[in-house]
């Protein structure tokens, strides 16, 4: 009887996922199905866990997060979009819209993100970019702006594609960075979340002759408390892919997975996502690491200031330029991760020195990675010693 109970317990743990653990939980690369994976802190953009996260791979329909955010930023939601012959020819998954049909752009975004319809992606691209090629240029330009230098877009829907410049591909790190932009930085982040969180959506074509229904296929939204958004993907070359975000107890985490199994392994991406999110929630906590300390003073050669005599070296105080008591640097860190602070300051200055002139920086490192940098300023003005000031000082000394 005891063995039966133990077996049922193990089965339950397998079905619902490993319970969250505290500090010390380990996660080896071999525990993940995905060939490439990334866990990112959405607040800072720092990678918390990586498995080949800089390897370029096809990303299937996770591409559509970029299509969606560009349409939200550059398109008009009440635009009428006419279905081209090319859009109507897109393979499943698709709406099955007919050439010449018309839709409002906003409705197509739900078809894009909930159903992952390939024809909707092409309609959006042609409307917002003038053509699929023009929209791909916008996608690649946006990727460069976000620092995603290992990403190359050819299609708006993520179908396998290749041209003279390479294959349609990204990295797990870049994909996480793109979703971070969508939910944390874009001026249309609220609209993006509203679309991707919608359980279902129904709309008509413009002529009211056909109704279309969309169902959100992001099963992760119901798997973990705080699940925020995400997008699935699959092609023959890419395998199963996923990118999603979770917000819980003040932490916002992003997981991206590439090449996470092929049929019949549809569930691998959910297992990997749960493992990575659980690892992030259980092992990382926010710590304020700002170093509250007096920065001291620095010598200013050939300088003069009130109260300085000719045989004294002038100095200026060093400061951050604002109320240091109010300054904080809250970072998501593991218990074993320690921050080091390097102060980059010259040994001395040469007059003149302006009050508020930047003198150096305070750099916060985690290992060799620079996480934050604060400028350090001169707190006082120091003028140059001139001939008349020196005469005045000599005269004062003689009289004394």
Q: Note the helical H segments in 166-228.
A: 172-180, 189-196
Give the number of residues written for the chain.
Answer: 400
Report DSSP letters for 228-295, one per residue: EEEEEEEETTTEEEEEEEEEETTEEEEEEEES---TT-TTHHHHHHHHHHHHHHHHEEEEE-------
φ and ψ at residue 250, rounded to 5 degrees: 85, -5
Structure tokens at 315: 């100095």
Interatomic CA distance for residues 63 and 40, integer angstroms: 18
Which residue in this structure is represented by tokens 């009428």? 80
241, β-bridge pairs: 233
Structure tokens at 189: 């982040």
φ and ψ at residue 11, rounded to 5 degrees: -65, -40
If you ran DSSP here, which 8-state letter would residue 223 be given?
Answer: T
φ and ψ at residue 323, rounded to 5 degrees: -65, 105
Q: Note the helical H segments in the chain.
A: 2-16, 64-74, 85-88, 105-110, 118-129, 132-145, 172-180, 189-196, 268-283, 387-399
Give the residue numbers annotated as catalytic, written as ranges.
Answer: 61, 64, 116
Q: Do 119 and 107 meet the contact criterion of CB atoms below 8 Å apart?
A: no
Nearest residue to 158 via CA among 226, 72, 258, 227: 258
φ and ψ at residue 29, rounded to 5 degrees: -60, -30
Examine residue 270 and say whether the peptide bond preceding it is cis (omega within 30 degrees of 0): no
Q: Do 248 and 225 meet the contact criterion of CB atoms below 8 Å apart?
A: yes
Q: Note the helical H segments in 150-188.
A: 172-180
């Amino acid at each position: 009887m005891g063995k039966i109970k133990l077996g049922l317990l193990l089965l339950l743990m397998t079905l619902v996922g490993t319970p969250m653990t505290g500090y010390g939980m380990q996660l080896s690369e071999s525990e993940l199905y995905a060939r490439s994976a990334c866990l990112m802190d959405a607040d800072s953009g720092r990678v918390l866990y990586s498995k080949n996260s800089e390897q370029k791979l096809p990303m299937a329909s996770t591409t559509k997060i970029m299509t969606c955010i560009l349409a939200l930023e550059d398109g008009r939601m009440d635009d009428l979009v006419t279905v081209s012959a090319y859009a109507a020819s897109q393979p499943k998954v698709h709406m099955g819209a007919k050439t010449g049909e018309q839709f409002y752009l906003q409705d197509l975004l739900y078809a894009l993100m909930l159903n992952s319809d390939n024809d909707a992606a092409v309609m959006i691209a042609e409307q917002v970019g003038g053509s699929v090629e023009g929209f791909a240029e916008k996608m690649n330009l946006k990727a460069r702006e976000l620092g995603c230098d290992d990403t190359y877009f050819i299609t708006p829907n993520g179908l396998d594609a290749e041209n003279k410049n390479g294959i349609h591909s990204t990295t797990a790190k870049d994909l996480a960075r793109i979703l971070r932009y969508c939910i944390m930085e874009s001026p249309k982040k609220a609209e993006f979340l509203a679309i991707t969180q919608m359980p279902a959506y129904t709309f008509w074509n413009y002529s009211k002759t056909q109704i279309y229904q969309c169902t959100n296929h992001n099963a992760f939204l119901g798997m973990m408390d705080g699940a925020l958004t995400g997008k699935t993907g699959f092609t023959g070359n890419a395998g199963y892919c996923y990118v999603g975000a979770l917000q819980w107890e003040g932490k916002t985490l992003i997981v991206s997975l590439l090449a996470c199994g092929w049929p019949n392994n549809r569930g691998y991406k959910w297992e990997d996502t749960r493992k990575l999110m659980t690892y992030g929630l259980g092992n990382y906590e926010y710590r304020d690491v700002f170093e509250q300390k007096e920065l001291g003073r620095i010598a200013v050669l050939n300088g003069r200031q009130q109260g300085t005599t000719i045989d004294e070296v002038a100095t200026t105080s060093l400061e951050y330029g604002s109320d240091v008591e109010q300054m904080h640097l809250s970072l998501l860190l593991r218990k074993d991760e320690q921050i080091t602070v390097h102060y980059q300051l010259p040994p001395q200055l040469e007059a003149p020195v302006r009050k508020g002139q930047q003198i150096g920086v305070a750099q916060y490192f985690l290992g060799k990675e620079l996480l934050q940098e604060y400028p350090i300023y001169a707190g006082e003005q120091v003028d140059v010693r001139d001939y008349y000031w020196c005469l005045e000082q000599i005269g004062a000394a003689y009289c004394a």
